[in-house]
Amino acid sequence: MDDHASLARRATARFLIGFLAALWLAVPLPAGSAERVEEKDQAAKVAKKVEKARGAAHQAEEEREALRDFQKEVVDYAELHDKELAKLGLPVATNASEAVAAQKALAHAIAERRAKARRGDVFGPDVEPLFRRLVAEQLRGPDALDARHAVLEGNPGQEDEEASVPVVLRVNAEYPSGAPRSTVPPSVLLTLPPLPESLHYGFVGRDLVLIDSVAQLIVDFLPNAAPDLSSK
């Protein structure tokens, strides 16, 4: 009899526990609890934004540092160019043959001083992604169609090889005098870091080339700096 009563009491207790649990789940959270949940969600969103901002700031600082390195290399080259030009003491050319002789003498002198130069000395690995992004921003998409056409015009990487002088990209190599030269659109020039008078940018195919304007020397080049130029 006692066992029967005990079983009945336990069954009643289980029923009450289940009923109270269901009742608890059905009761809405107090306003304060809901506000705390919302505050946690807002805090999580703010934390994500802060983390994203920190990442962007870190990337920006890395890009600034990479640009400083690039500009230092450019300035160092410009100083070398000026020193070698002054050292040669070349007279003012009065005809085409004298101008070519002066150009080749300067190119030879600079190449000797930069005998150990390698691809990537100026376009360093840290600045490469930045240059590719800056160029792509100006040459990608339907709005950049005219700019892409400008790059293709006179581009030695797009010409018929049998009808033009080939350009072999190699640091310290002279840019062939008879080879075509690409146009760098103003939008790209305004985006890229400015250069001293002794240097200019050019394209050979999709490669961005840094050329000595006087010595006609290939100072450095960045492979695949431009996106697909044939896209419509």
Residue with the bigger pLDDT between 54 and 177: it is 177
Residues 25-74 have pLDDT tens digits of 454 555 566 666 666 566 555 455 445 445 445 568 889 999 999 999 99
Residue with the bigger pLDDT between 24 and 152: it is 152
The residue behind tokens 């376009």 is 123
- How confident is the prediction for the chain on average, in pLDDT? 81
Tokens (6 digits) for 11: 């069954």
pLDDT at 33: 61
Amino acid at 211: I
pLDDT at 118: 96
Q: What angle do CA 121, 190, 178 make, to 5 degrees?
A: 65
The rounded distance, in Å, linking the Cα atoms of 2 and 8 is: 10
Q: What angle do CA 56, 63, 199 make, to 5 degrees?
A: 150
